[in-house]
């Protein structure tokens, strides 16, 4: 069980900089203030709002505003400060920050006792946006899915339209079924297909995930092209390549929506306590968490919201431990307790406790809703994460 052991504080008020206002950054912020309410926190993020990005597929049913949490409201609620800026820190800069306990941001100098890097990852499709009728995850961060798709289809009302979803991971599958149900609700007579480079969908999960999702795809008449690479989309066709034979071919397609995963940007290697390692030595006052981090520990390094939250909470506790006496730090040993993938509004597939314990339908949806409520409570300052 995660807990903060007894420690004697060496200084009354800590100054902490958090770079990144995603799941890990906000988990760290709320936990710091839970155990040390007088902590002086500066949050640096280029956006004005926190986005619960793992819920974006739901904007085919609910407004995007339901998924946003203003950093301005965060400042009022917690008394922290938000700086609107992007930060790119290489190893030399991080070492300088450790030595000086300062972060130079444009013309400003921010002094700190500790810094947390939780800057996340970039969408892999960012370099493939070669057509106005190609969308990626980033497009859904700026507008409702129902508006993006509905406006496009209404403005391009041509016979035999088809939509191609590219990517059979968790994000692609969740969007795929939401799009299908949106088209059915709006009575659009449009074909929907999934293009995937792997042999089956949801390959990172137990076999039961892919089997269940593909059976539901067949029920809804969603065409599936496994072992197929995406090349590009033009005005009315999508160009593809078979993975094994290398044969190139094309299909009628009005729009391509790309979900190609997270791009491997800068990854910060950390020790088991979350401290960034440079030249084989940990930076004592600079920690990392979230998708940009890789911990040298037995804990889970998956790029999921669950791991991001756990890492964020861990580094918050370790900062308070490190700042006090005796300064013993807690290692990261968290393993995921389950995972649920939505299969539209009223269905889901997941595992709980053990990867062999596959659950589907209403039980899976119930677990998903409980996990979502738990994170909402964390943003409100109520920590119900026990392990």
Residue 72 belongs to a domain with what CATH number? 3.50.50.60
Q: Are residues 163 and 255 in the same domain?
A: yes
Give residue 161's domain range: 126-262
Local structure of 250: helix, strand or coil: strand
Q: Are residues 235 and 141 in the same domain?
A: yes
Instruction: Answer whether 287's CB lies under 8 Å from 276's CB.
Output: yes
Q: Are residues 224 and 271 in the same domain?
A: no
Q: Is residue 7 included in any domain, yes or no?
A: no
Rounded Cα distance, 318 and 166, in Å: 40
Q: Is residue 354 included in any domain, yes or no?
A: yes
Which of 262, 277, 298 delimits the end of a domain? 262
User: 């106005």: which residue's tokens?
Assistant: 132
Per-residue model confidence (pLDDT) at position 307? 92
Q: Is residue 356 included in any domain, yes or no?
A: yes
Q: Is residue 3 included in any domain, yes or no?
A: no
What domain count does the chain have?
A: 3
Closest by Cα among 169, 235, 220 to 190: 220
Which of 207, 235, 262 delimits the end of a domain? 262
Per-residue model confidence (pLDDT) at position 123? 57
Mean pLDDT across the stretch 70-75? 96
CA 109 to chain centre: 30
As given in the structure block, the two tokens for residue 190 are 């449009």
Q: Is residue 8 included in any domain, yes or no?
A: no
Per-residue model confidence (pLDDT) at position 9? 66
Q: Is residue 171 included in any domain, yes or no?
A: yes
Q: Say which range, 195-204, 293-302, 313-322, 333-342, has the weakest mean pLDDT.
A: 333-342
Q: Are residues 59 and 187 in the same domain?
A: no
Per-residue model confidence (pLDDT) at position 120? 81
CA atoms within 13 A on the CB side of 367: 19
Q: Are residues 130 and 245 in the same domain?
A: yes
Q: Is the pLDDT of residue 273 over 70?
A: yes
Which of 237, 262, 287 delimits the end of a domain? 262
Per-residue model confidence (pLDDT) at position 252? 95
Mean pLDDT across the stretch 3-27? 82
């Amino acid at each position: 069980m995660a807990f903060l052991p007894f420690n004697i504080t060496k200084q009354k008020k800590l100054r902490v900089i958090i770079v990144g206002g995603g799941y890990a950054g906000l988990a760290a912020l709320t936990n710091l203030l839970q155990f040390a309410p007088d902590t002086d926190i500066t949050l640096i993020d280029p956006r004005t709002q926190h986005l619960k990005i793992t819920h974006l597929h739901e904007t085919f049913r609910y407004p995007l505003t339901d998924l946003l949490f203003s950093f301005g409201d965060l400042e009022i609620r917690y008394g922290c400060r938000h700086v609107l800026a992007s930060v790119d820190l290489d190893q030399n800069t991080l070492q300088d920050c450790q030595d000086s306990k300062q972060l130079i941001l444009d013309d400003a100098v921010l002094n700190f006792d500790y810094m947390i890097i939780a800057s996340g990852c970039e969408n892999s499709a960012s370099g493939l946006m070669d057509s106005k009728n190609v969308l990626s995850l980033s497009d859904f961060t700026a507008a409702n899915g129902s508006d993006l798709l509905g406006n496009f289809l209404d403005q391009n009302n041509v016979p035999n339209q088809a939509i191609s979803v590219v990517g059979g991971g968790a994000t692609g599958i969740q969007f795929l079924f939401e799009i299908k149900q949106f088209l059915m609700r709006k009575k659009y007579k449009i074909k929907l297909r999934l293009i995937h480079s792997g042999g089956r969908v949801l390959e990172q999960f137990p076999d039961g995930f892919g089997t269940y999702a593909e059976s539901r795809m067949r029920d809804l008449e969603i065409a599936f092209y496994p072992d197929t690479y995406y090349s590009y989309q033009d005005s009315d066709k999508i160009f593809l390549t078979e993975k094994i034979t290398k044969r190139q071919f094309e299909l009628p397609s009005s729009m391509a929506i790309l979900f190609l995963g997270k791009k491997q940007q800068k990854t910060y290697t950390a020790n088991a306590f979350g401290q960034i390692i440079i030249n084989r030595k940990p930076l004592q006052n600079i920690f990392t968490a979230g998708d940009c981090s890789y911990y040298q520990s037995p804990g889970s390094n998956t790029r999921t919201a669950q791991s991001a939250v756990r890492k964020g909470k861990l580094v918050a506790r370790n900062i308070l431990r490190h700042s006090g006496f005796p300064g013993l730090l807690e290692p990261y040993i968290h393993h995921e307790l389950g995972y649920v993938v939505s299969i539209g509004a009223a269905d889901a597939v997941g595992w709980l406790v053990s990867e062999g314990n596959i659950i589907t339908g209403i039980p899976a949806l119930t677990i998903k809703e409980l996990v979502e409520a738990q994170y909402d409570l964390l943003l409100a300052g109520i920590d119900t994460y026990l392990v």
